[in-house]
Amino acid sequence: MSAPQAEAASVGGVALHAPGEAPDEATLRQRACTELLRQAAQRAGLLDASDRAADDGIASEAASAAIEALLERELVLPEPDEAACRRHHAAHAARYVRGERVQARHLLFAVTPGVDVAALRRRAEACLLDLRCRPEAFAEVAREWSNCPSGQAGGALGWLEAQDCAPEFARELFGRAEVGVLPRLVSTRFGWHVVEVLARAPGEALPFEAVRSAVAQALRQQAWATALHQYLQLLASGATIRGVTLDAAATPLVQ
């Protein structure tokens, strides 16, 4: 006799995946957040009641527009004042430089359709641990395992500036002092990267007046992420959620 299938994770009675599918926890959290917002948009009259959630967690075009309208209405975002901007700049001066360069190499474990994401991450973590213990093997391992064309060159990326990289990759490389194999996986839209910083060339620190608008935008983004997280918590507190835990440590919708 075959084992009974586990009950599908759901929000408000709406399944977050197809029968027999077993998404990883991060995917379930992301789908749950989207579904909470989709249902809230329907209750607010911004989305037709006939709209249905898809098994793959991708909202319809109408639902995406309605969620955007909902968040525009519900998230109250304070405009950062001069004092807050100056404090942020002083605390994160390394982020606001011109001409900073990093020489790096990497090994990519690419997330592709049909891949077992949990198993892929475990493989990436094992590789990271291995290369932290024997960094001299980086080029050899990259040639064997990297899913990036740079693997044929031992993972070499050459000298990079922030604008040369995906934003999520740049955030992990620039404005820091680390040299060597980074002690954490770098997660991007492409997958997980094991990264070694070979050298750094510091840039020119920019005064507050030169980056005022960028600082203000950074604070607006922080405020938006915080407000979204709080709103999702509010929605979750009034919903019946099964099979997935929405923890307080992250806002999965915007990862």
Query: 5: buried, middle or exposed (CB in 10 Å: 19+, 13-18, 0-12)?
Result: exposed
- The residue among 245 and 248 whose pLDDT is bigger is 245
pLDDT tens profile 165-214 = 998 999 899 988 889 999 999 999 999 999 999 999 988 889 999 999 99
Instruction: Output the pLDDT for position 118.
Output: 85
* Nearest CA among 198, 173, 186, 219 for reference residue 103: 198
Averaged confidence pLDDT in the chain: 89
What average pLDDT does this structure show over 35-43? 95
* Residue range 72-114, pLDDT digits in tens: 999 989 899 999 999 999 998 878 888 899 999 999 999 988 8
* CA atoms of 186 and 251, how far apart (whole Å): 18
Average pLDDT over residues 37-43: 95
| Domain covering 97-205 assigned CATH 2.40.50.100 in the classification | no
End-to-end CA gap in the chain? 41
Residue 3 has a pLDDT of: 40
Q: What is the pLDDT of residue 6?
A: 53
- Across the range 33-44, mean pLDDT stands at 94
Q: What pLDDT sits at residue 2?
A: 41
Higher pLDDT among residues 77 and 59, named by residue = 77
pLDDT of residue 208: 96
Which residues lie closer than 8 Å to 201 by C-beta, 6 or more apart? Answer: 99, 100, 101, 102, 103, 159
Question: How many CB atoms are located within 10 Å of the residue 218 CB?
Answer: 18
Residues of the chain within CATH 3.10.50.40 domain(s) are 97-205
Bigger pLDDT: 6 vs 142 = 142
Return the SS3 of 193.
Answer: strand
